[in-house]
Homo-oligomer: A and B are copies of this chain.
Amino acid sequence: MSFNTFGRVFRFTTWGESHGPAIGAVVDGCPPGLSINAETDIQPFLDKRRPGTSKFTTQRQEPDQVRILSGVFEGKTTGTPIALMIENVDQRSKDYSDVAKAYRPGHADYAYDAKYGFRDYRGGGRSSARETASRVAAGAVARLVIPDVDIFAYVSAIGDDAIDPARFDPAEIDRNPFFCPDPVAAQRWEALVDGARLDGSSLGAVVECIAIGVPAGWGAPLYAKLDAELAAAMMSINAVKGVEIGDGFAAARLRGEDNADPMRPGPDGAPQFMANHAGGIAGGISTGQPVKVRVAFKPTSSILIPVDTVTREGEPADIITKGRHDPCVGIRGVPVVEAMMALVLADQRLLHRAQCGEAGGD
């Protein structure tokens, strides 16, 4: 079964393929009365994800202009479904003729054929990362539902070259084409990523995302825990192979006393945490600390270096993936990770309000 809807009460459904006429999302359950403007509230996030903005991303040229087709009246959300549509403009189907015949290792080609019996092979069809533009648009709506939450993501490592935490500066993130908060690393990455591009190779990356301003109390134990929802949300992004909350795998190497987040009375009477190993989530519920997620992107499988494969008929072959690809798909993953964070938090805010009312943990 193909389930293209995410969320429990704030829900979105995406549709569309890489080389169809358009892609889009339907956002359902949005509270009414929120001011919304496609140009200023949604488009900037799409622009951030847009391909073709530097030589470090795919050269496909897509304006990614979003249209709101429903659910908004006189500049406000009405509480009815918000349909968002983005037309596909730069589709070069000719680039993908080889893909129809043989499976690209690491891609969804073989799995889709095994599942569905055939596939739309043009640019990966539904499995293309192009779908993530719909998520970014939906995520922009989600941000309106949680106006007091500040969400930002950045690349913390490309390949095995990580940022230096001592040089972490959020202001740097938007000053380089890598969403890198460490200006020195950003400079190194120019050569690193360009080298991979010229080699016809690709690089993995780690994206970190932080949400500040999430009040204590969001999360729906046990199977819609905030961290479980975030894990599903992030793992559903193309090329993602790992998700960590807070210290993640590093926590597995700690002793209990070192992993504890001690508390003391805070200035306003509320407890104040003295560490955040937990990444702002305990028992699946937010603690009021920053919510922290780390996401591992594999190197894109679309490379110019030949790889052994088989054809649909079972014959041996080798394949290179021509066309316009990201040498490091994790970079453009940054706005997508942010969008998924916003979508999960908006849903959890409304879920919390449903069960506990505004006064609950808000």
- Return A296 CB to nearest CB of chain B, in Å: 4
Mask for A269-280, Cβ within 8 A of B = 1, else 0? 111001001110
Complex alpha-carbon distance, A263 and B314, angstroms: 10
Most chain B C-beta atoms within 10 Å of own C-beta, residue among A13, A80, A125: A80
Find the residue from A33, A126, A157, A234 having the highest chain B CB count within 10 A.
A126
Q: Give the interface segment out of A169-177, A183-191, A353-361.
A: A353-361
Is B206 in contact with A252, judged by CB distance below 8 angstroms? yes
The CA of A354 and the CA of B305, in the complex, are separated in Å by 39
- A242 CB, min distance to chain B CBs, angstroms: 4
Do A32 and B118 form a contact, CB below 8 Å, given A80-B4, A81-B4?
yes
Which residue of the partner chain B has the closest CB to A233?
B228
Q: Which of A19-27, A35-43, A44-52, A56-64 contacts B (4 or more CB under 8 A)?
A: A19-27
Question: How many protomers of this protein does the assembly include?
Answer: 4
Is A53 an interface position by the 8 A CB rule?
no
A215-244 vs B, CB cutoff 8 Å, 1 = contact: the mask equals 111111111110111111111101001111
**Which residues on the B side are within 8 Å of A159 (C-beta)?**
252-255
Cβ contact within 8 Å between B120 and A73: yes
List, in ascending order, chain B residues with CB within 8 A of A245's CB.
Answer: 235, 241-242
List of B residues within 8 angstroms of A238 by Cβ: 283
Query: How many Å from the CB of A43 to the closest CB on chain B?
Result: 18
A287, B115: Cβ atoms closer than 8 Å:
no
Judged by a CB distance under 8 angstroms, whether A6 is at the interface is yes
Q: Are B201 and A31 in contact (CB under 8 A)?
A: no
List B contacts of A263 (CB < 8 A): 103, 105, 110, 308-310
Q: Give the distance in Å from the alpha carbon of A126 to the alpha carbon of B11 in the complex.
A: 18
Tell me, yes or no, whether A181 is within 8 Å of chain B by CB: no
Number of interface residues of A (CB under 8 A): 157
Q: Does A350 contact B (CB under 8 A)?
A: yes
- The reply to whether A216 and B70 form a contact with Cβ atoms under 8 Å apart is no
Interface residues of A in 247-286 (CB under 8 A from B): 247-249, 251-265, 269-271, 274, 277-279, 281-286
- Chain B residues with CB under 8 A of A281: 111
* A110 in contact with B287 (CB, 8 Å): yes
Which residues of chain B are within 8 angstroms of A271 by Cβ–Cβ distance? 103, 110, 309-310, 314
A201 CA to B255 CA, complexed, in Å: 7
Give the contacting residue for A284; candidates B21, B24, B202, B236; CB below 8 A. B236
CA distance A233 to B80 in the complex (A): 19
Other A-B pairs beyond A223-B232, A256-B301, 12, CB < 8 Å = A1-B354, A15-B82, A15-B83, A32-B116, A70-B126, A112-B283, A201-B255, A204-B254, A238-B283, A263-B309, A271-B310, A357-B358
